[in-house]
C-alpha cells in the first residue's frame, strides 16, 4: 500500500499555494492530492474550546446566576474541545486522513505562530490522533520559501512550548471572560462583556476620555518679535499686563542677535515594520483600522506578496538578507520610489531581535505579480511596506539645528530653524509621499520623524531695526482622544513606563500584534467604544462598565505582566500550570468578593426609566425588556406584537399608565394596527385602540 504525507493548512487559500508547489494538483472535496501528498485545510478555528454548558447543566441556566460560578473546567473532568458546527464536514475530512493507515506522516502547515499552532493541535486532539507530527515553519508563501521549508521540516515537539503558551492564553481568556462576563451580567441584570485584554484596553480609552472631558483650559500669552523672514518668541506668559509691558519695552527699539547655537543632528533610518507599527501608520495615513490593515496584509501574504504579517520583529536574519536585497531592486520601479538608495542591509540584520518571524518585507514574487489586480487597500499596504524597506536600508538624515537668542528692550526672544545637510533615507520617504494619491497626504511625517522648522539665516550681533512686536492670546490644549494609531502604541507599551525613554527595553504590552485589532473591534461591536472619524471614544455604557469592574480586571499593568508570562511560557522559561493557577485564583477571589454582596444590586449601570407600579422599585431598560430591579415580576417587553417599544413610550406608560398611540404593531393574522399601551389592574400590559368615527374607544385585554 502506497503511503502519503498529510499536510494540514490553516486556510484553503494556503492549501492551494502549498499544493501547487508540492505537485498535489488533483483537487478533491476538502483537500488536494498528488505526488505522494494529501493537502487539506482548516477554516481558521475548525475546533475550539467547549462552551460552559458542556461541563455542567447549571452553566446553561438563564438568566446567569452568581451562585453558579466559578466555571473551572478542571473541576469538571478537564478541558474539552468542540468542533465548529458550520465546519463539521471539513473536520471529518481532516480527521479521516489523520487517522488513515495510508498516511505515513502529518505535517503541520498552519500559520507559523502561536495561534496557528493552536489551530492545528486542537484539531489533532479532537481527532484523537497520536501520529508523529512535523512542522513547516515559513515566513512567506512564495514558492522558494515553501520548498526550503519542506526541506527543513522540524519535529512538532520543537513547538510544544509555543502551543503551551497559546493554550494557556486561550484558557486564561475563557476563565476570565466567561466567569467575569457572567458575574457582571448577573449582578447588573444586563449583558456585560468582560475580557482579559479588552477590559484593560477599554479602561485606557475611558481614562483618556475623562482627561479630555475634565480638562480645564488655561489662557496664556506669547510675545512675538517679527524680524523680517522669521519670528522670535518669548517664553509663556500667564499675565496679559506682563505681556503688554514686554511689548511696550520693545516697541520702537531695535533687536540684536546675542547668541547663535548650531548643532549637527542625525536622524537614523526607521526600523522595518512589525505588524503594530504597520497598523499604526496605515491608520495615520490611509485611515485604515487595525483590523483592515491586518486583513490587507494577510491577503497579501496568502498571495505570496508579503512576508508573514503577524510579526513582532523589526529586523531580519542573515539568511534573509539576500531576499531583502533582491526586493530592494524591484520596489523602486514598481512603486515609483527614489532609485538612488545604496542599501545598507547590515543595519536591518539583528539575529537576537528576530523571534518567530522577521520584520515585514515584500517578497520577490511582486516582480511577476499583476499589481493592478490588487485592491486599493492591498496595494497601499504593499507600497507602504516597500517604502519602509527602502528607508530602513538608507543613510542617516543629517541637518543643522540653529537656535538664536535675540534681545530687544531688555527681553530675550528665541528663534529656531534648521538646514538640511543630507537627505539620506528621507529622500525615499519624500519620493513615496509624492507618488501616493493627494487625498492620502498628511501634514505628519510618514515615519514619525518631525521635520522641524524652516531654515534660519542669521548672524551674531545682527541688528533688526524697528521689529514688529505682537502679543498673542493662546490657550492650553487638552490631551487628544485615542486614535487607533495612539491606542495601539499604548497597548504595545502598557506596563513599561521606561519604554519611551529606552527603546531597547522589552515591551510588555497588552494583547499581541495578532490580537490587538480584534480587541478594538470587539469593544466597538459590544457598544463600549465608537469611532468618531479617526478617534476612538468610549460610550456611556463603556465608561460605566469600567466604573463597576474591580481594579484588577481593568489593570493594564497586570494584563501586561500576564502577556510577559505567556511569552516566557513560549520560551520554556515559565510554567503554564503556574500561570493558570494565578488566573484561576484571581477569578475566584473576584467572584467570592461579589458573593458577599450578591443581594446588593448596583444601580450604577442601570438605565433607570421610572418607578415600578407594583413594588415602587426602579424600572431599568435592558436589551430585552423594561423590568423591575427587585424582580417583583413586573416587566414590559421591549418587543410587543412585533413592534419595538421606544423608551420614551415605556416611560409614559409608567408615569401615567398609558403610552401615546404607537403604529406598526402586527396582529396574529399579520395585519398592522395602531394602539396605545395601557397598564391593567393586574399590572399586565394591554392595548387601547383609537376611537372609531362616531364611537367611543375601547380597551382590549390582549397582551
Taking the C-alpha atoms of residue 490 and residue 492, their distance in angstroms, rounded to an integer, is: 5
Catalytic residue, from 163, 273, 285, 308: name it. 308
Work out the burial of residue 433: count CB atoms within 10 Å of its CB; fewer than 13 is exposed, 13-18 middle, 19 or more buried. middle
**Dihedral sign computed on CA atoms, order 563, 567, 573, 577:** positive
Taking the C-alpha atoms of residue 404 and residue 419, their distance in angstroms, rounded to an integer, is: 14
Nearest to 427 by CA among 447, 441, 443: 447
Taking the C-alpha atoms of residue 49 and residue 511, their distance in angstroms, rounded to an integer, is: 19
Q: Are strands 219-226 and 255-267 parallel, antiparallel or unpaired?
A: unpaired
Q: Name the one residue in this structure whose C-alpha cell is 484588577.
A: 552
SS3 214: coil
The phi and psi torsions of 441 (rounded to 5 degrees) equal -60, 150
Where are any strands of DSSP class E within 302-435? 397-408, 411-422
- Quick one: how far is CA 578 from the chain centroid? 28
Work out the burial of residue 260: count CB atoms within 10 Å of its CB; fewer than 13 is exposed, 13-18 middle, 19 or more buried. middle
Taking the C-alpha atoms of residue 512 and residue 198, their distance in angstroms, rounded to an integer, is: 12
Number of H helices, E strands in the chain: 18, 29
Taking the C-alpha atoms of residue 484 and residue 531, their distance in angstroms, rounded to an integer, is: 9
Residue 443 makes CB contacts below 8 A (sequence gap 6+) with none
Helix or strand holding residue 177 (H, E): helix 160-188
CB 141 within 8 A of CB 167: no
SS3 140: coil
CA within 13 Å, CB half, 379 = 13
Taking the C-alpha atoms of residue 490 and residue 205, their distance in angstroms, rounded to an integer, is: 10
Taking the C-alpha atoms of residue 651 and residue 621, their distance in angstroms, rounded to an integer, is: 10
Nearest to 513 by CA among 111, 152, 171: 111
Taking the C-alpha atoms of residue 649 and residue 651, their distance in angstroms, rounded to an integer, is: 5
Instruction: Say which DSSP state 658 is in.
Output: B
Q: Name the one residue in this structure whose C-alpha cell is 528576530.
A: 354
Is residue 528 part of the annotated active site? The answer reads no
Q: Name the one residue in this structure whose C-alpha cell is 499555494.
A: 17
Taking the C-alpha atoms of residue 598 and residue 617, their distance in angstroms, rounded to an integer, is: 18
Q: In the numeric block, which cell numbers belong to residue 608?
A: 433607570
Instruction: Say which DSSP state 75 is in.
Output: G
- Quick one: how far is CA 47 from the chain centroid? 24
CB 646 within 8 A of CB 636: no
Helix or strand holding residue 27 (H, E): strand 26-28
Q: Name the one residue in this structure whose C-alpha cell is 516597500.
A: 386
Q: Please give the positions annotated as active site.
A: 308
Amino acid at each position: 500500500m502506497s503511503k502519503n504525507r498529510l499536510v494540514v493548512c490553516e486556510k484553503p487559500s494556503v492549501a492551494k499555494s502549498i499544493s501547487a508547489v508540492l505537485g498535489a494538483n488533483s483537487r478533491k472535496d476538502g483537500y488536494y492530492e498528488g505526488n505522494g501528498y494529501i493537502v487539506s485545510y482548516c477554516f481558521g478555528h475548525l475546533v475550539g474550546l467547549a462552551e460552559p454548558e458542556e461541563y455542567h447543566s447549571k452553566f446553561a441556566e438563564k438568566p446567569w446566576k452568581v451562585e453558579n460560578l466559578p466555571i473551572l473546567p478542571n473541576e469538571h473532568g478537564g478541558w474539552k474541545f468542540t468542533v465548529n458546527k458550520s465546519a463539521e464536514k471539513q473536520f471529518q475530512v481532516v480527521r479521516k486522513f489523520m487517522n488513515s493507515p495510508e498516511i505515513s506522516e502529518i505535517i503541520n502547515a498552519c500559520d507559523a505562530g502561536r495561534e496557528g499552532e493552536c489551530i492545528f493541535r486542537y484539531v489533532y486532539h479532537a481527532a484523537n490522533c497520536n501520529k508523529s507530527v512535523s512542522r513547516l515553519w515559513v515566513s512567506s508563501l512564495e514558492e522558494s520559501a515553501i520548498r526550503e521549508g519542506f526541506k527543513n521540516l522540524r519535529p512538532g515537539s520543537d513547538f510544544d512550548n509555543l502551543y503551551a503558551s497559546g493554550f494557556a492564553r486561550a484558557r486564561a481568556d475563557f476563565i476570565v471572560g466567561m466567569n467575569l462576563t457572567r458575574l457582571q451580567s448577573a449582578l447588573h441584570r444586563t449583558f456585560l462583556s468582560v475580557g482579559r485584554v479588552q477590559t484593560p484596553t477599554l479602561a485606557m480609552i475611558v481614562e483618556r476620555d475623562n482627561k479630555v472631558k475634565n480638562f480645564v483650559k488655561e489662557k496664556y500669552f506669547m510675545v512675538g518679535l517679527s524680524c523680517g523672514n522669521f519670528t522670535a518668541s518669548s517664553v509663556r506668559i500667564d499675565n496679559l499686563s506682563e505681556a503688554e509691558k514686554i511689548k511696550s519695552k520693545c516697541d520702537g527699539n531695535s533687536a540684536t542677535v546675542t547668541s547663535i547655537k548650531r548643532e549637527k543632528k542625525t536622524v537614523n533610518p526607521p526600523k522595518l515594520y512589525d505588524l503594530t507599527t504597520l497598523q499604526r501608520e496605515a491608520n495615520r495615513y490611509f485611515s485604515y483600522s487595525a483590523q483592515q490593515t491586518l486583513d490587507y496584509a494577510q491577503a497579501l501574504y496568502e498571495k505570496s506578496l508579503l512576508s508573514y504579517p503577524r510579526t513582532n520583529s523589526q529586523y531580519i536574519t542573515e539568511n534573509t538578507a539576500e531576499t531583502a536585497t533582491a526586493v530592494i531592486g524591484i520596489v523602486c520601479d514598481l512603486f515609483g520610489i527614489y532609485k538612488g538608495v545604496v542599501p545598507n542591509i547590515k543595519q536591518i540584520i539583528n539575529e537576537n531581535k528576530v523571534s518567530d518571524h522577521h520584520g515585514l518585507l515584500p517578497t520577490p514574487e511582486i516582480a511577476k505579480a499583476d499589481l493592478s489586480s490588487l485592491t486599493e487597500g492591498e496595494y497601499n499596504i504593499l507600497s507602504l511596506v516597500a517604502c519602509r524597506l527602502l528607508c530602513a536600508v538608507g543613510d542617516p538624515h543629517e541637518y543643522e539645528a540653529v537656535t538664536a537668542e535675540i534681545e530687544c528692550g531688555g527681553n530675550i526672544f528665541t528663534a529656531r530653524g534648521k538646514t538640511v545637510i543630507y537627505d539620506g533615507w528621507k529622500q525615499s520617504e519624500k519620493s513615496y509621499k509624492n507618488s501616493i494619491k493627494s487625498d492620502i497626504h498628511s501634514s505628519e511625517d510618514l515615519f514619525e520623524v518631525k521635520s522641524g522648522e524652516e531654515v534660519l539665516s542669521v548672524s551674531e550681533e545682527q541688528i533688526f531695526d524697528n521689529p514688529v512686536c505682537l502679543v498673542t492670546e493662546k490657550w492650553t490644549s487638552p490631551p487628544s482622544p485615542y486614535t487607533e494609531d495612539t491606542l495601539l502604541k499604548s497597548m504595545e507599551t502598557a506596563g513599561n513606563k521606561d519604554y519611551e525613554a529606552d527603546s531597547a527595553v522589552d515591551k510588555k504590552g497588552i494583547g499581541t500584534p495578532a490580537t490587538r485589532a480584534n480587541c478594538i473591534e470587539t469593544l466597538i461591536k459590544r457598544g463600549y467604544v465608537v469611532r468618531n472619524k479617526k478617534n476612538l471614544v468610549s460610550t456611556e455604557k463603556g465608561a460605566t462598565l469600567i466604573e463597576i469592574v474591580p481594579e484588577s480586571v481593568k489593570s493594564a499593568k497586570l494584563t501586561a505582566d500576564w502577556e510577559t508570562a505567556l511569552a516566557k511560557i513560549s520560551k520554556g522559561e515559565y510554567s503554564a500550570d503556574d500561570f493558570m493557577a494565578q488566573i484561576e485564583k484571581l477569578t475566584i477571589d473576584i467572584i467570592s468578593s461579589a458573593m458577599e454582596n450578591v443581594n446588593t444590586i448596583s444601580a450604577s449601570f442601570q438605565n433607570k426609566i421610572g418607578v415600578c407600579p407594583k413594588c415602587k422599585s426602579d424600572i431599568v431598560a435592558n436589551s430585552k425588556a423594561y423590568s423591575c430591579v427587585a424582580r417583583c415580576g413586573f416587566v414590559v417587553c421591549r418587543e410587543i406584537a412585533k413592534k419595538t417599544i421606544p423608551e420614551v413610550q415605556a416611560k409614559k406608560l409608567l408615569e401615567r399608565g398609558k403610552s401615546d398611540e404607537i403604529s406598526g404593531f402586527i396582529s396574529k393574522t399579520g395585519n398592522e394596527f395602531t394602539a396605545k399601551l395601557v397598564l391593567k389592574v393586574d399590572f399586565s400590559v394591554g392595548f387601547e385602540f383609537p376611537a372609531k368615527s362616531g364611537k367611543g374607544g375601547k380597551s382590549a385585554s390582549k397582551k
